[in-house]
């Protein structure tokens, strides 16, 4: 709860900082400082709850504070901090309203905290809206670029439509159970498991599927991720998506977990489709940015396993996956922002010109592909282990492994371009030693998640 | 059949008929006018459910403010019936099938719903008054109420960021 209040207040401070300061560098510094404060508040929140303690309910059971949720908040704030340190300069380059962009990022974090602690469908709804509306703005922030405006409009229209579907699902669930409160919704009685509540659950699956870009609700993703300014794509594809997933798993594991036989089949078809479409389409992309958009769809397919498997390993898996995927993707996008040309050819010969940049890119890509010793491997290991423990998803696990093999192709294409092809890649500016340090740190984090994933689950 | 049921059926018929009118009328202006009628019929339903305040707000906000905005936009865009894009029949068929399936699902959901509530809220008369609404809003639902301010604040920032004229581009370096 402290974090929710802190994020809002710090967001407002961030917003007003543009009145006092015109210098963009100062604004970036303030944003990083405020994020450090927010991270501190999050750590304080985690410390204040004892390990293995019970849930705390606040505000008429609107909010359920659990240690796991607070831990997730802390990790996501940490990722945001890393993201601002890595690409703060690129955020400032997007447009003139730098302070406002950072303020919106703080408000998105408020949404993230709400989504990790909601116990009421109304809070879920508001949380998802707080998560989405700043994103529409960030997607359209590069006003001189027509593609950015197109992305914002497309995202807004599709998002508004999905909000309607989400609201419809909430209404149907309210109609059949008579409450918005998740801990009071029991599906043990046959009377509340009827067509109405099941239709509501399907509507919620569709709405969440849109937010996490699961096929066939993924159609907005490539255009929006491609059109939006690259720094904001990095944020949308990582922290926001992870938060949506965390909200997804909390609802479906805790509340609808008891009647999983009713929705597992729908979700497993969605998972298979997401893996298939994401991976196969990524193969044919020519632009690395667009490839990363499709890869984020493919990674969402793996994260859906955690929701499908519906057990304790799954909830650990989603946290590890969220962190491993976020850190690697943030790093990958940070590299992409340094380059002028986003196509595969733009990476040709990068290893000769910037060996450090090429090396860290390789580590990030290996992690995304799920090669052992990187975070991506451990993440995939956790979610697939959870799926096997569930018992009935063996066919889907094998399918996922096949798709992971396909994904290696398009990730390795970048590595091949960097190391084995000749070319002269152009950078926006030469790498500073600060950039190098931050990229190396991200790289170390990726490897650390791969070697010692328990560190990132230690406190749950 | 008592008077409330008759009222309910009449209002529902108006609401559904006008909603169909919104979809089927070729002229956008007619669509908007039908939409206003739909909102009025729904406000009637609110009154039947003893939610007087909601009914009034519905008329003021939806039938009043939002509809005027709608009309303005349509007139500014100068839409006519002949500028409407023609969809090919395959898309129309796909839309009809998927929409029909959704309709069936919702229909079966409604049929299988076990609770049947009366069409009119009897009970106390002051249930839907602003006093009770305010009490509930500030006691039970205070958190969603307050937290939605963050939502509005970010929407306002959006209006400024997107709407403001971009001045000279200064570089970070």
Tokens of A354: 């910037």
How many inter-chain contacts (A to B, CB under 8 Å) are there?
113
Spans of all domains in chain B: 1-77, 129-163
Is the minimum CB–CB distance between B145 and chain A shorter than 8 Å? Answer: no
Helix extents (H) in A116-190 = 121-139, 146-177
Looking at chain A, which residue has its C-alpha nearest residue B110?
A196
Is pLDDT above 50 for B173? no
Q: What is the pTM of this model?
A: 0.90
Is pLDDT above 80 for A189? no
A107 contacts on B by Cβ (under 8 Å)? 150, 153-154
What DSSP state is assigned to residue A60?
Answer: T
Is pLDDT above 90 for A441? yes
Percent of the residues in chain A that have a pLDDT greater than 70, as a whole number: 98
My answer on whether omega of the bond before A115 falls inside 30° of 0, hence cis, is no
Query: pLDDT value at position A21?
Result: 83
Interface test with chain A among B94, B111, B165, B172, by most A beta carbons within 10 Å: B172
Angle at which helices B28-48 and B3-24 pack, to 10 degrees?
Answer: 160
Q: In whole angstroms, how far apart are CA A108 and each of A75, A240, A360?
A: 15, 8, 28
Mean pLDDT for all residues in chain A: 90
Is pLDDT above 70 for B118? no
Percent of the residues in chain A that have a pLDDT greater than 90, as a whole number: 61
Is the minimum CB–CB distance between B165 and chain A shorter than 8 Å? Answer: no
Burial of A284 (0-12, 13-18, 19+ CB in 10 A): exposed
Query: pLDDT value at position B82?
Result: 58
Give the distance from residue A50's alpha carbon to the nearest chain B alpha carbon, in angstroms. 25
- Rounded to whole angstroms, the Cα distance separating A100 from A105 reads 9
Q: Tell me which residue of A453, A313, A302 sits closest to A385, measured CA to CA.
A: A313
Q: pLDDT-based confidence at B171, cuts 50/70/90?
A: very low
Between residues A167 and B74, the one the model is more confident about: A167
Interface test with chain B among A58, A94, A96, A429, by most B beta carbons within 10 Å: A96
Residue A351's CB: how many other CB atoms inside 10 A? 21
Interface test with chain A among B105, B109, B114, B146, by most A beta carbons within 10 Å: B109
Query: pLDDT value at position A104?
Result: 94
Give the distance from residue A106's alpha carbon to the nearest chain B alpha carbon, in angstroms. 10
Is pLDDT above 80 for A390? yes
Is pLDDT above 80 for B110? no
Query: pLDDT value at position A369?
Result: 92
CB nearest B158 (choices: A89, A136, A200): A136
Spans of all domains in chain A: 2-456
* Mean pLDDT value across residues A211-228: 91
**Tens digits of residue pLDDT in A235-274:** 999 999 999 999 999 999 888 888 888 889 999 999 999 9
Looking at chain B, which residue has its C-alpha nearest residue A61?
B140
Is pLDDT above 60 for B139? yes
Query: pLDDT value at position B80?
Result: 61
Give the distance from residue B140's alpha carbon to the nearest chain A alpha carbon, in angstroms. 6
Give the distance from residue B168's alpha carbon to the nearest chain A alpha carbon, in angstroms. 8
CB nearest A126 (choices: B148, B160, B172): B148
CA B156 to chain centre: 22
CB contact under 8 A, B147 and A123: yes
**Tens digits of residue pLDDT in A351-378:** 888 888 999 999 999 999 999 889 999 9
**Tens digits of residue pLDDT in A15-51:** 998 888 888 889 999 999 999 999 999 999 888 887 7
Q: Do residues A3 and A41 touch, judged by C-beta distance below 8 A? A: yes
ipTM of the complex, rounded to two decimals: 0.87
Query: pLDDT value at position A386?
Result: 92
**Tens digits of residue pLDDT in B120-129:** 555 666 677 7
**Tens digits of residue pLDDT in A46-100:** 888 877 777 888 888 889 998 889 999 999 999 999 999 998 888 988 888 889 9
CB contact under 8 A, A194 and B167: no
| CATH T-level fold of B1-77 | 1.20.120
Is pLDDT above 50 for A212? yes
Give the distance from residue A41's alpha carbon to the nearest chain B alpha carbon, in angstroms. 19
Chain B residues 79-138 within an 8 A CB cutoff of chain A: 105-106, 108-115
Q: Do residues A31 and A88 touch, judged by C-beta distance below 8 A? A: yes
Query: pLDDT value at position B113?
Result: 65
Interface test with chain A among B94, B137, B157, B164, by most A beta carbons within 10 Å: B157
Query: pLDDT value at position B165?
Result: 75
Angle at which helices A2-20 and A24-48 pack, to 10 degrees?
Answer: 170
* Mean pLDDT value across residues B136-156: 91
């Amino acid at each position: 709860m402290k974090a929710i209040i802190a994020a809002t207040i710090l967001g407002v401070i961030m917003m007003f900082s543009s009145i006092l300061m015109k210098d963009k560098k100062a604004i970036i510094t303030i944003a990083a400082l405020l994020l450090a404060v927010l991270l501190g508040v999050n750590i304080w929140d985690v410390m204040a709850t004892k390990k293995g303690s019970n849930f705390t309910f606040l505000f008429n059971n609107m909010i359920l504070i659990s240690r796991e949720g607070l831990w997730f908040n802390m990790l996501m704030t940490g990722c945001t901090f890393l993201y601002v340190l890595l690409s703060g300069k690129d955020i400032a380059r997007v447009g003139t309203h730098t302070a406002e962009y950072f303020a919106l990022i703080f408000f998105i974090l408020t949404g993230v905290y709400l989504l990790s602690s909601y116990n009421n469908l109304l809070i879920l709804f508001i949380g998802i809206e707080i998560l989405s509306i700043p994103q529409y703005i960030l997607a359209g922030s590069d006003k001189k670029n027509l593609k950015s405006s197109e992305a914002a409009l497309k995202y807004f229209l599709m998002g508004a439509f999905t909000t309607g579907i989400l609201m419809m699902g909430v209404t149907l669930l309210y109609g059949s159970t008579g409450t918005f409160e998740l801990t009071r919704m029991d599906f043990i009685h046959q009377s509340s498991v009827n067509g109405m509540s099941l239709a509501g659950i399907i509507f919620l699956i569709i709405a969440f599927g849109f937010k996490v870009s699961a096929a066939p609700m993924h159609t907005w993703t490539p255009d929006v991720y491609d059109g939006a300014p690259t720094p904001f794509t990095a944020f949308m594809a990582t922290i926001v998506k992870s938060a949506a997933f965390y909200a997804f798993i909390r609802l479906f594991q805790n509340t609808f977990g008891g009647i999983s036989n009713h929705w597992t089949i729908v979700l497993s078809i969605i998972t298979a489709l997401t893996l298939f479409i994401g991976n196969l389409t990524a193969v044919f992309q020519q632009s690395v940015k667009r490839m990363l958009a499709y890869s984020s769809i493919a990674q969402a397919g793996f994260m859906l396993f955690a929701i499908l498997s519906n057990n304790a390993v799954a909830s650990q898996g989603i946290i590890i996956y969220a962190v491993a995927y976020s850190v690697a993707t943030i790093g990958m996008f940070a590299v992409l922002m340094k380059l002028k040309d986003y196509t595969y050819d733009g990476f040709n010969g990068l290893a000769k010109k910037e060996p450090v940049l090429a090396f860290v890119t390789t580590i990030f890509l290996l992690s995304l592909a799920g090669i052992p010793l990187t975070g991506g491997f451990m993440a995939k290991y956790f979610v697939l282990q959870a799926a096997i423990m569930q018992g009935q998803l063996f066919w889907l696990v094998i399918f996922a492994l096949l798709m992971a093999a396909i994904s290696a192709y398009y990730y390795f294409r970048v590595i091949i371009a960097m190391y084995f092809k000749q070319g002269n890649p152009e950078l926006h500016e030469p790498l500073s030693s600060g950039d190098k340090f931050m990229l190396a740190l991200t790289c170390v984090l990726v490897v650390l998640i791969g070697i010692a994933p328990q560190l990132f689950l230690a406190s749950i | 059949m008592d008077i409330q049921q008759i009222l309910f059926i009449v209002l529902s018929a108006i609401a559904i008929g006008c909603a169909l009118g919104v979809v089927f009328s070729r002229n956008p202006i007619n669509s908007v006018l039908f939409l206003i009628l739909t909102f009025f019929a729904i406000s009637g339903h609110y009154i039947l459910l003893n939610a007087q305040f909601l009914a009034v707000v519905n008329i003021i906000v939806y039938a009043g403010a939002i509809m005027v905005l709608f009309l303005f936009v349509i007139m500014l865009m100068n839409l006519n019936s002949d500028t409407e894009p023609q969809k090919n029949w395959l898309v129309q068929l796909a839309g009809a099938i998927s929409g029909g399936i959704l309709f069936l699902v919702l229909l079966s959901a409604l049929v299988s719903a076990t609770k049947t509530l009366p069409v009119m809220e009897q009970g106390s008369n002051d249930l839907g008054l602003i006093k009770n609404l305010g009490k509930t809003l500030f006691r039970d639902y205070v958190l969603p109420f307050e937290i939605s301010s963050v939502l509005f604040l970010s929407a306002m920032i959006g209006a400024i960021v997107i709407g403001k004229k971009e001045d000279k581009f200064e570089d970070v370096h």
